[in-house]
Amino acid sequence: MPSSFLARLGVVQPLVLAPMSGASTPALVAAVSNSGGLGSHGVGYLAPQAILDDAARIRALTDAPFVLNLFVLPDEFEEDEPAIEFARATLDTFMERQGLAARTSRPERWAPRFSDQFAALCEARPAAASFTFNLLTPAQVGELKRRDIAVIGSATTLDEVRAWAELGADAISLQGAEAGGHRGSFLHRPEDAMIGLFALLRLAARAVSLPLIAGGGVMDGQGMAAAEVLGADVAQLGTAFLACPESAAAQAWKDDLTRAQDTDITTIRSFSGRAARGLRNTYVEAMAGVESRLPSYPVMNALTSPLRRAAAAAGRGDLVSEWCGQAVGLLRPMPARELVARLLEERMQALQGLA
Ligand SMILES: Cc1cc2nc3c(=O)[nH]c(=O)nc-3n(C[C@H](O)[C@H](O)[C@H](O)COP(=O)(O)O)c2cc1C
């Protein structure tokens, strides 16, 4: 049976697909929601109209509830000119050496304007919306609640859990240090906010009475059951779905994930200017010595976009951001619907074993 939080949203199975910008697609989200779980779509990179279009695509594929997820960012960004020039020169030289014809360019904007994305999300009116990288304002939380959109705040530390609770979030998404993709930390430096999911879950469960959605290194039903035993309402899985045919991850990225060892996974700042977990590949090793000289998110993310596009088109997984969590060795490439069925079966068996 799903928790009361999930039941309130109309979700019938205890599983959440993590939002994954650049990898989640309307087809993946709908496949999970149609299987009874709660599909989440990471729309943080999308322009407002594209957010509305993707929400319409999801609705064309499912009547079940889903989540939209945004990065909470300022509307305008600091431009560190020396860092930008250094990054452009470094990236252009790197692409030339790797035989890629692409070169960096200066985009019109470094990222979509958050307030416009937020307005589009409100208009799209998903059952729930989740947010990472920072807190919303109280007015934004009020706006979501007026529209009956449940508010899920992401936290990587106990202080962040408390901050979302005080703001009136309906549920907290815990991102353990094991998690793939960008770290959502906003009150602490990423290196100080590497709390493992076991620790974070127990700390949060003692501190707040809100529903907890637990993510980071959960790849099978045993992990889902363990998260629930530790106090989670439900587990949230990202990496587990990356190699599904419905995922937008480039084929070379999917292939590399199936060969990855736990020791190949590290925290990387050089792709986007913000700490994120993924595979240590050729690009990551080449940039390791200059990470601290690169501009911060989203400027660096925009500057590496031509490189990542060209590398993906050339099938060069070793040059793209291959985000994944620490338990990627448990990956099972299969259609999302089949994966959800397996996960739920494993979870049931694990819980019965405990009983
Ligand atoms: C490719 C990828 C993209 C991600 N994009 C987002 C995102 O847009 N928003 C977000 O809140 N979290 C994002 N995350 C983090 C996930 O929501 C979640 O915390 C993580 O996948 C859980 O750990 P796991 O990958 O080990 O399952 C992303 C993770 C991955 C792997």
**Domain ranges across the chain:** 4-73+111-248+333-354, 77-110+261-323
Question: What's the pLDDT tens digit per position in 2-46?
Answer: 789 999 999 999 999 999 999 999 999 999 999 999 999 999 999
Among the listed residues 272, 279, 276, the one whose alpha carbon sits nearest the alpha carbon of residue 256: 279
- 2 and 234 in contact (C-beta within 8 Å)? yes
Question: Looking at residue 142, what is its pLDDT?
Answer: 98
User: How much is the pLDDT for 1?
Assistant: 64
Strand partners, 67: 40, 128
Task: Return the amino acid letter for 268.
Answer: I
Q: Counting atoms of ligand 1 from 1, which one is nearest the CA of 239?
A: 25
Per-residue confidence (pLDDT) for residue 3, from 0 to 100: 80
Residue 298 Cβ < 6 Å to ligand 1 = no
CATH for the stretch 4-73+111-248+333-354: 3.20.20.70
Q: Please tell me the distance between residue 19's alpha carbon and the centre of ligand 1 in angstroms.
A: 6
CA of 279 from ligand 1 middle (Å) equals: 14
The reported pTM is 0.97
Nearest atom in ligand 1 to 324's CA: 31
Upper half-sphere CA count for residue 99 (Cβ side, 13 Å): 4
Question: What percent helix, strand, coil does the chain show, rounded to 5?
Answer: 45, 15, 40
With left for phi above 0 and alpha for psi between -120 and 50, is residue 153 left, alpha or beta?
beta
Tell me the CA–centroid distance for residue 96 and ligand 1, in Å: 31
pLDDT in tens, 64-118: 999 999 999 999 998 999 999 999 999 999 999 999 999 999 999 999 999 999 9
The answer for residues whose C-beta is within 8 angstroms of residue 261's C-beta and 6 or more apart is 329
Neighbouring residues of 296: CB distance < 8 A, sequence distance ≥ 6? 78, 80, 273, 274
- C-alpha of residue 20 to centroid of ligand 1, in Å: 5
Ligand 1 centroid distance, CA of 166 (Å) = 24
Residue with CA at minimum distance from ligand 1 atom 11: 132
Indicate the average pLDDT of the chain.
97
Rounded to whole angstroms, how far apart are CA atoms 318 and 340? 29
Angle at 247 between CA 244 and CA 250, to 5 degrees: 105
Please name the residue that has the structure tokens 């094991």: 178
| The predicted structure's pLDDT at residue 266 | 98
Consecutive H or E run containing 48:
helix 48-61
Low-confidence ranges of the chain (pLDDT < 50): none
